[in-house]
Structure 1
Amino acid sequence: MNGITWMIIACEIGFWIAIVAGLVTRYLFKKEKVGLFLLAMTPVIDLILLLLTGLDLYRGAEATTAHGVAAIYIGSSIAFGKSMIEWADHRFQYYILKQGAKPPKRYSYEYARHYAKGWLRHILAFVIGTGLLAATIFVIDDAERTAALTGIIKVWALALGIDTLVAISYFIWPRPEKT
C-alpha cells in the first residue's frame, strides 16, 4: 500500500476517534464545549486528507484508486457526516448512558422515506466527490496519469444507479414489519 492509502485509513480512523472522543467527553466527562470541539474536528480531518492527496498529485504522482477513494471519502464525509454523528450520538446515549429513547426500527413507507433521505445524501456525496475528481483530472490534464480517477467516477456512477433502483424498490415493495 502506498502513502495515500495509509493516509485514507488514518483519516477514517481519526474520523471515528474524533466522534467517540467527542461523545465520551461530552457525556461522560460533562465537558460539552470540549466534546463539541472534538466533534467539529471531523471536517478538519477531511481537509487534511484533501490537502495531502492534492499535494501528492501536484508532486507528480500518478493518480491511483487510492486518490479516487480519497475523493469518495471526502464527499461522503461531507454529505453523511452530520447524520453519522447524530446516529452515533443517539446510540451512545441509549446503549452506553442508558438514556433517551431506543433507536427506532423503521418499516414500510417510513423506511422508504428514511432510505430516500440517505439516497439524497448519496447524490450530494457523488456531486462533491466527482467534482473533486473532475477538478483533479482537469488540473492534471494528462489522461494517462488520471485514468484511475475516471474509472472511479464510472464505478461510483454505477453504484449510485444501483442505489437509485434500491431506493425506488422500497416504495414499490415496502419493507414489511417483522412479527
Structure 2
Amino acid sequence: MIVTLIIACEVGFWVLLAAGLALRYLAGMRRTSVVVLLCEPLLEVVLLVVTAVDLKNGAQPDWKHGLAAVYLGFSAAMGHYIVTRADAWVAYRFAGGPKPAGAPKGGGARTAYEWRMAGRFVFAGALAIALLQAAIWYVGGDGGTASLRMWQQRMVWVIGINLLIALSYTLFPKKAEEEKARPSLLDRLLKPASERSGAHTAEDRTLTRR
C-alpha cells in the first residue's frame, strides 16, 4: 500500500501542477490556481500520516517505509524549485514572459549554480535522514530498523556525491567560453516544441556540411 501511495502522490503532484498552471495561464483564474498548487503539500501529509499509522499498527519497518521517508524529503526540498521552473516555462510559452535562463555557461556563475543545486540535494538528503531517524525512534529498539538505516546510508552518499560535484566546479572552474549552457532535464521537457525542432534542424545542417 505504501508504494502505491507514493506513486499516487507523484502522479497527483504533476496533475495538480498542470491543473494549477492551466488555470493561471489558460483560464486566467490566478487565485484558483494558487489554491490548487497549495494542495500539493497535502499529498505529502497524507503519505506521512499513512506511513506513521502503518508503523503504529505493528508493521515491520522495511524498504517501503524508507522509500516513503526519502520521497517526502526530496518532495519538500525540490517541490518549490520544480513548481517555479515549470511556472517560468509556461509563462514564457503562453503569457509572453521572459525565457527562463538555463545553467550558466561557466565561471563563477556556474560554480554558484552548482552549489545551489548541491544545497537542494543536501537539504533533501538531510530531511530524509531526519525522517528516517524519527521512524527509527518511533519503532523503538525492539523493531527491525536495518532497512531504515540502510536508507540513511544511501542519503549520506547522495549528499557526499553532490558536494563533490559542486566542489569540483570550485577547484576546477570552467571558463564561460569553453562550456555551452546545458539546460536541465525539466527545462528540456518544458521547452516549446518549435525550439526543440529548431535545435535539431541546426544540428542536422551542421552534420550535413561536414
Q: TM-score, normalised by structure 2?
A: 0.78
CA RMSD of aligned residues (A): 1.7
- Cα deviation, 1:68-120, whole Å, max 9, x if unaligned, reads 1211111112122211110110111223x162222213221222212211211
Q: Which residue of 2 aligns with 1:132?
A: 131
Q: Which residue of 2 aligns with 1:28?
A: 26
2:58 match: secondary structure: coil
Contact 1:137 1:143 in 2 (8 A): no
Q: How many angstroms apart in 1 are the aligned matches of 2:114 and 2:142? A: 37
Q: Which residue of 2 aligns with 1:63?
A: 61
Q: How many angstroms apart in 1 are the aligned matches of 2:72 and 2:25? A: 28
Q: Which residue of 2 aligns with 1:164?
A: 163
Q: Greater shift after overlay, 60-69 or 3-12?
A: 60-69
Structure 1 gaps, min length 5: none
Q: How many residues align?
A: 176
Q: How many angstroms apart in 1 are the aligned matches of 2:132 and 2:33? A: 33
Contact 2:122 2:162 in 1 (8 A): no
1:99 equivalent to 2:99? Answer no
Q: How many angstroms apart in 1 are the aligned matches of 2:141 and 2:14? A: 35
Contact 2:23 2:30 in 1 (8 A): yes
Q: Which residue of 2 aligns with 1:74?
A: 72
Change (3 A) 1:143 1:121: farther
1:52 equivalent to 2:54? Answer no
Structure with the greater alpha carbon radius of gyration: 2
Q: How many angstroms apart in 2 are the aligned matches of 1:14 and 1:111? A: 33
Q: Report deviation, 1:143.
A: 6.0
**Identity value in percent:** 32
Contact 2:20 2:33 in 1 (8 A): yes
2:97 match: secondary structure: coil
Q: Greater shift after overlay, 105-114 or 49-58?
A: 105-114
1:178 equivalent to 2:180? Answer yes
- Cα deviation, 1:132-174, whole Å, max 9, x if unaligned, reads 1101101101465221110000011011111110011122233
Q: TM-score, normalised by structure 1?
A: 0.91
1:137 match: secondary structure: helix
